[in-house]
């Protein structure tokens, strides 16, 4: 199965992606996670990407397309994969279509997770992530047992720089301008399915499974 998760930042693509990945036993590929790792390791790619990410802007298409072309060729992708955070522009979507065609692969579905904007802002600005293992918490909806400490590994919980309110607002603007057109792109191909992203994680996952059947 090849699946794209679409939706604004903060709608729960990452959370649902992990659950789908376990259920169907295929890897979840998050461009944001790959980029953050590159930034942390201060690679050439990471250095180039950081300036864009800090401002909530998109990293240029050619960098992302090249990165993804390499990633989906890896062995663990042979039974399919779930894309979280890619494609994010029409140029990336077109390049991805070509990648699939070249490799004789077929996109199954595009899952759009829908959440109102005010809820997104509250979710993102309250999000905390573990510096060590990447586990995700929310100060109100999913707090750790001890303030600032990861339940899973004891690591320190931090706020991503791009989860600060001003950057969040910019990320939403970028989403509207650059990524929303993809909704129409995939609607036309008949592959788009929409899920209401409000409610409990498990409840949303039930909806997801229903539309992926
Ligand atoms: P995310 O965790 O998916 O919200 O991604 C965090 C940041 O990484 C974004 O704000 C962008 O700067 C960058 N990024 C992630 N995926 C892409 C993509 N497909 N195209 C361009 N930039 C991306």
Determine the distance separating the centroid of ligand 1 and the alpha carbon of 32, expressed in angstroms: 5
Catalytic residue among 55, 71, 94, 160: 160
Q: Is residue 71 annotated as a catalytic residue, yes or no?
A: no
Query: In the chain, what are the domains?
Result: 2-26+79-116+166-212 (3.40.50.300)
Task: Give the pLDDT confidence of 42-76 residue by residue, as tens digits.
Answer: 999 999 999 999 999 999 999 999 999 999 999 99
Task: Give the pLDDT confidence of 151-193 residue by residue, as tens digits.
Answer: 999 999 999 888 999 999 999 999 999 999 999 999 999 999 9
Catalytic residue among 88, 123, 128, 207: 88
pLDDT recorded at residue 213: 87
CA distances from 166 to 1, 48, 60, 173 (A): 37, 22, 21, 11
pTM of the model: 0.91
Q: Is 47 exposed, middle or buried (0-12, 13-18, 19+ CB in 10 A)?
A: exposed
Q: Is residue 127 annotated as a catalytic residue, yes or no?
A: yes
Tokens 């996109």, located at residue: 107
């Amino acid at each position: 199965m090849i699946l794209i998760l679409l939706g604004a930042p903060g709608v729960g693509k990452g959370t649902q992606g992990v659950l789908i990945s376990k259920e169907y036993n295929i890897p979840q590929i998050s461009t944001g996670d790959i980029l953050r790792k590159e930034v942390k390791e201060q690679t050439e790619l990471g250095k180039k990407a950081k300036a864009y990410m800090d401002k909530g802007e998109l990293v240029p298409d050619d960098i992302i397309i090249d990165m993804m072309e390499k990633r989906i060729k890896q062995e663990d992708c042979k039974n399919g994969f779930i894309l979280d955070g890619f494609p994010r522009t029409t140029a990336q979507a077109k390049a991805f279509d070509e990648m699939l065609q070249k490799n004789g692969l077929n996109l199954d579905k595009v899952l759009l997770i829908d959440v109102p904007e005010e809820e997104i802002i509250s979710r993102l600005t309250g999000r905390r992530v573990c510096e060590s293992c990447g586990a995700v918490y929310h100060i109100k909806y999913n707090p750790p047992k001890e303030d600032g400490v990861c339940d899973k590994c004891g690591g320190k919980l931090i706020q991503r720089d791009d989860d600060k309110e001003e950057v969040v607002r910019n990320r939403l603007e970028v989403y509207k301008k650059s990524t929303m057109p993809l909704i129409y792109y995939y609607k036309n191909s008949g592959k788009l399915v929409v899920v209401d992203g409000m409610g409990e994680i498990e409840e949303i996952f039930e909806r997801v499974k229903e539309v992926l059947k």
